[in-house]
Amino acid sequence: MLQDTTITLAIELLLLAAAVGAFVLLFSRYLRRADTQPLELLADDLLFANAPCAVVLSDAHDKIVDVNHAYERLTGRQRQDVIGMPIGYNHSGQMDEEAYADMREALRRTDRWDGEFWLRNAGGEAFSDKVSRIAVRDTAGDLCGFLTISLDMLGNEDERRLMLWQAHHDTLTKLPNRNLFFERLTRVLMKERQGAGGALISVDLDNFKIVNDSIGAAKGDQLLTQAAFRIALCARETDTVARLAGDHFMVLMEDCSDYAALEQVAREIVDQVSLPFVVDDRELFVTASVGISVYPEDGSDGGELMQKADAARLQAKRSGGNNIAFFESAMNARAERRLEIESELRKAVHDDQFELHFQPVIDLRDGSVSGAEALVRWRHPEKGLVSPGEFIPVAEETGIINELGAWVVRDARRKLVEHQDILRGLRISVNVSAAQLKTEQAISDLIAVLAEEGCDGLTVELTESALIADRDGVQTFLEQIRLLGCRTSLDDFGTGFSSLSYLRDFRFDVLKIDKSFIDRLANTQDYGLVASIISMGRILGMDVVAEGVEEDTQVQRLRQIGCDYVQGFYYSKPLPFAEFIAFLRQERLKRTA
């Protein structure tokens, strides 16, 4: 028999070459060489214990005989706790009886099955695991059991994280790299239908090449690291600062449609970079050229926006460097449009031009309507119905949002009271934006409105951006409105930091998974992610709502992973109030029929 260490080494090498199939082959070859009791021999083998991927040995009835260290790491469960359990003890119910039957049949016929198991780890999170299963037979050919090998090669979570991190970051400055930057940009632009607007700031150092040549690459790297740090300090915590190449950096500023603020950040970058750098006790001087493109005015495509930011940067460089430039005249167009909307908005508040539309939320367990999200619309005297994407950002910048927000709460509550015959038991949620929680005064005004109108049946939706602003202030706001009987909901989960600590600290009643995740449910990895978010939400006692559901296949998948509530065009668009009532009546009629 080969020495254990030799086999282990050979396997490690094979794995490094990503030869998963070869690993399976090696294991099975090894099986056939074993004589009397293959299962015990295998379990005692060092190779089994130390294999870098999770391996399970089960008997002919598929009861677990042994698992290895990688399995313990992957599932978070101890070996002694799982021995004797049926192999499917931690399966999360994704595989139906028919699929199990197919698997048994394949194993019976060919002694091998390749497929995917859906598992739950010790924390209850679901994840998928590609596996290869091999039937273990003794020399007489009788079945002794099964060997299940996880093809998830890096059973080690830390290694997997590291690899993921390296694929997305620049190792020198630790900033996101071009891949990650482009990914984020694309995601942000997808959401841009909501219209908050933003900008790309392209930065490069004017005379870096000359400096680098004179001081050498190692010191040049030190300078770059310091420059990266300064640029990152100029940006807000929520912005993405990336190093795209050499001395080329790019900043993505989301939700920033205020030109003055943009210009200030860009100038700050130029100023910071122009301060002396100290590398090995030597003072070095460089300057920066900065170009800015803004969306949606300059385009809605990531590549195009990056090109435009770069073009503006070149213009700044051509004018001598140490300077900033906006791409063409987008700035004027936007500023004019803003001013126009602002004055019209002020009038709209007085003339009562707003109305709420209601998008039903469906309880997947019985198909009933469990409530609705109230979404504001502006009935403009000339332009007709204007969507919030166009005016909420302006309302936020100008503070008009506070008045508008109060109106939304009043109107929603009034509808609940006036139509309680049909709306009883339903939950209506209203959106409260971060801008409404900016000052203590605004917070206490909003609480006063909620107290005055009553909170029965009302849920307040906040996004993560509201939580960052002023943790304590928001925490108090949430506590107070809960005391008034208001439910709280975390909106657009998955687009911000998706922070577990927020979920734990703020104790929301409802978690809304953002549409961008629902759109990618067909992707196995994202499917697993949504499944974990759902189970995490449940563990924390939250109702989980999937947003932006548009297709039947999405509904099926969400049902499979235990999502209870859904909302989206598949069921209904946001409806004017009268139509929402008609929708409710019809749904109830259907269900009683």
- The stretch near ligand C2E (CB under 6 A) out of 108-116, 180-188, 281-289, 545-553 is 545-553
Shortest Å distance, C-beta 580 to ligand C2E: 13
CB of 79 closer than 8 Å to CB of 48: no
Q: Does 516 sit near ligand C2E (CB under 6 A)?
A: no
Query: How many other C-beta atoms lie within 10 A of the C-beta of residue 180?
Result: 17
**Nearest approach, Cβ of 472 to ligand C2E (angstroms)?**
21
- Which of 136/430 has CB closer to Ca ion? 430
Rounded least distance, CB 445 to ligand C2E, Å: 14
Please state the closest distance from residue 127 (CB atom) to Ca ion, in A: 25
Q: CB nearer to Ca ion: give 66 or 491.
A: 491
Total residues at interface with ligand C2E (CB under 6 A)? 21
Residue 115 or 195: which CB sits closer to ligand C2E? 195
Tokens 């194993």 identify what position?
A: 107
Cα distance between residue 554 and residue 292, in whole Å: 38
Place of tokens 């990056």: 306
Which residue of 455, 510, 574, 583 would you call a contact of ligand C2E, by CB under 6 A? 574
| Minimum separation from the CB atom of position 437 to ligand C2E (A) | 10
Q: Is 531 exposed, middle or buried (0-12, 13-18, 19+ CB in 10 A)?
A: buried
User: DSSP for 39-84?
Assistant: HHHHHH-HHHHH-SS-EEEEETT-BEEEE-HHHHHHH---HHHHTT
| Stretch 421-460 residues interacting with ligand C2E (CB under 6 A) | 431-433
70, 82, 189, 408: which one binds ligand C2E (CB under 6 A): 408
Residue 340, helix vs strand vs coil: helix
Nearer to ligand C2E, 431 or 532 (CB): 431
Q: Counting contacts by CB under 6 A, is residue 177 touching ligand C2E? A: no
Quick one: which of 72, 247, 298, 491 contacts ligand C2E (CB under 6 A)?
A: 491
User: Considering beta carbons, is residue 388 or 457 the nearer one to ligand C2E?
Assistant: 388
Q: Is the CB of residue 266 less than 8 Å from the CB of residue 309?
A: no
Assigned token pair, 561: 């992973």
In the 3-class helix/strand/coil scheme, how is 91-150 assigned residue by residue?
ECCCCCHHHHHHHHHHHHHHCEEEEEEEEECCCCCEEEEEEEEEEEECCCCCEEEEEEEE
222 binds ligand C2E (CB under 6 A): no
Residue 387 interacts with which of ligand C2E, Ca ion, none, CB < 5 to 8 Å by class: ligand C2E
252 vs 375, beta carbon nearer ligand C2E: 375
For ligand C2E, which residue of 277, 423, 548, 575 counts as binding (CB under 6 A)? 548
Q: Tell me how long the chain is.
A: 593
- Where does residue 551 fall: left (phi above 0), alpha (psi -120 to 50 degrees), or beta otherwise? beta
Note whether 359 binds ligand C2E by CB under 6 A. Answer: yes
- 3-class SS of residue 287: coil
Supply the minimum distance, in Å, between the C-beta of residue 491 and Ca ion. Answer: 4
List the single partner that 392 binds among ligand C2E, Ca ion, none, CB under 5 to 8 Å by kind. Answer: ligand C2E
Among 194, 238, 287, 560, binds ligand C2E (CB under 6 A): 194
Pairing of strands 143-150, 384-386: unpaired
Q: State the minimum distance, in angstroms, from the CB of residue 429 to Ca ion.
A: 7
Unique residue bearing structure tokens 């699929």: 99
Rounded to 5 degrees, φ, ψ at 35 are -95, -80
Closest CB to ligand C2E among residues 165, 569: 569
Asked if 389 interacts with ligand C2E (CB under 6 A), we say yes
Any contact of residue 492 with ligand C2E (CB under 6 A)? Answer: yes
Cα atoms found within 13 Å of the Cα of residue 91, Cβ hemisphere only: 15
Residues that bind ligand C2E (CB under 6 A): 194, 359, 375-376, 387-389, 392, 405, 408, 431-433, 491-492, 548-550, 568-569, 574
